[in-house]
Amino acid sequence: MSRPLRIVHGADFHLDAPFAALPPEKAVQRRGEQRELLHRLAALANRAEADLVLLSGDLFDGGELYGETLDALAQALGGLKAQVFIAPGNHDYWTPHSAYARKWPSHVHIFTEPEIERVDLPELGCTVYGTAFTGPCREDRALKGFRAPDDGRVHLMVLHGEVASESRYGPVPLEDLAESGLDYVALGHVHTCSGVQRAGNTFWAYPGCPEGRGFDETGDKGVLCGVVERGNVELAFAPLCQRRYLVREVDVTGAEPAQALSAALPAEKSPDFCRILLTGERGEGALDLAALTALAAPKYYSVSLRDHTRLARDLWDRAEESTLTGLFLQEMKRRLEEAGTEEERARVELAVRFGLAALEHREDPL
């Protein structure tokens, strides 16, 4: 082969997820935005002049799909110039009645058996292997005993599974990867991008999901894009998500909570979901979370607030005690009086907070 293979590797789209935590109108919108992901994937692959698009399972969230989703998928796959290989996973497992059983474009290959299937692509100097889930779980090791031939070709596998010795979701032990003789294993199932890893001479990776669906899937999400050749894999993360799930902390110590929150909000409306954790010390009384949420709401697609604050205390109220705590505070008061700058005073006060937390077996103040 005159040049390395150009590939795009994606997984875990979970199309038509219910988004049950959202209001019905936003759930409908989010499913529509998932369909747009497919077109962004196709545009990315065509821009990259990809030879192969490898989709490693859980393309669908379940067996029931909306007609609009099937239409979008057919259009996106049909517009791809690359050859496409799909390995159904535990959420979108293959059955003769699944969406995968319908007619798809001729350049789309869907693996349908638990046993490893081989597809030779002599025009690209490569061989692509894959397997399918045929039920919601599988405990066999798909790669056990498998060895790709040393025939000068690039050997790739599309596989949904978990890099572990035992799992209900297609265990793939590292030793099986190392002994497989494969150049690259395109994995799906884990929703966090792993980056390119190596076991023996075999490279492998999870791209993660291309868009988060909750606060357990935070930050940028996307696919892997790059080149594969014998003995070398260079793949970069390519963001595809339209909205992210973010967690932000806002310290209200020494400020009005509304002012502290306002200072932390973005200047322009964000398309993201955001969970804001209010931390630090507050005055007497509980925070008005409803009012603070109303303040933040216009700045995000969706926002929620959590109160992680603690009641403010007088740092020195135990300084007259004849205890270890009292002796500690007396010494720290002396150091505070000797501090020459505001920065030094702030450091002493912070040391007092940490010291009291340790002496009273409380959480650290930060």
In this structure, are 120 and 67 located in the same domain? Answer: yes
- Domain assignment present for residue 354? The answer is no
In this structure, are 199 and 220 located in the same domain? Answer: yes
For the entire predicted model, the pTM comes to 0.85
Do residues 204 and 185 lie in contact, with contact meaning Cβ atoms separated by under 8 Å? yes
Contacting residues for 331 by C-beta, under 8 A, at least 6 apart: none
- Which tokens is 89 given? 């996973």
Question: Which tens digit of pLDDT belongs to each residue from 316-341?
Answer: 888 889 999 999 999 998 998 898 88
Question: Which tens digit of pLDDT belongs to each residue from 134-173?
Answer: 999 999 999 999 999 999 999 999 999 999 999 999 999 9
- Angle at CA of residue 80, ends 74 and 86, nearest 5°: 65
Is pLDDT at 202 greater than 80 in this prediction? yes
In this structure, are 205 and 101 located in the same domain? Answer: yes
The count of structural domains within the chain is: 2
Do residues 83 and 53 lie in contact, with contact meaning Cβ atoms separated by under 8 Å? yes
Is pLDDT at 1 greater than 50 in this prediction? no
Residue ending a domain, choose from 239, 257, 284: 239
Q: What is the CATH number of the domain that holds 182?
A: 3.60.21.10
Strands (E), 115-231: 117-121, 126-130, 154-160, 184-188, 197-199, 202-205, 222-229
Do residues 47 and 91 lie in contact, with contact meaning Cβ atoms separated by under 8 Å? no
Question: Which tens digit of pLDDT belongs to each residue from 48-97?
Answer: 999 999 999 999 999 889 999 999 999 999 999 999 999 999 999 999 99
Q: Which residue has the tokens 């955001």?
A: 274
3-state secondary structure of 258: helix
Question: Which tens digit of pLDDT belongs to each residue from 248-264?
Answer: 999 998 889 999 999 99
Question: Which tens digit of pLDDT belongs to each residue from 282-314?
Answer: 877 789 999 999 999 999 999 999 999 887 777
Q: What is the mean pLDDT of residues 29-36?
A: 95
Residue ending a domain, choose from 186, 218, 239: 239
Entry field: residues in the chain: 366
Residue ending a domain, choose from 311, 342, 361: 311
Q: What is the mean pLDDT of residues 35-47?
A: 97
- What is the domain extent for residue 305? 245-311
In this structure, are 179 and 141 located in the same domain? Answer: yes
Whole-Å CA distances, 31 to 14, 43, 90, 92, 152: 10, 19, 20, 16, 43
How many other C-beta atoms are found inside a 10 Å radius of the C-beta of residue 193? 19
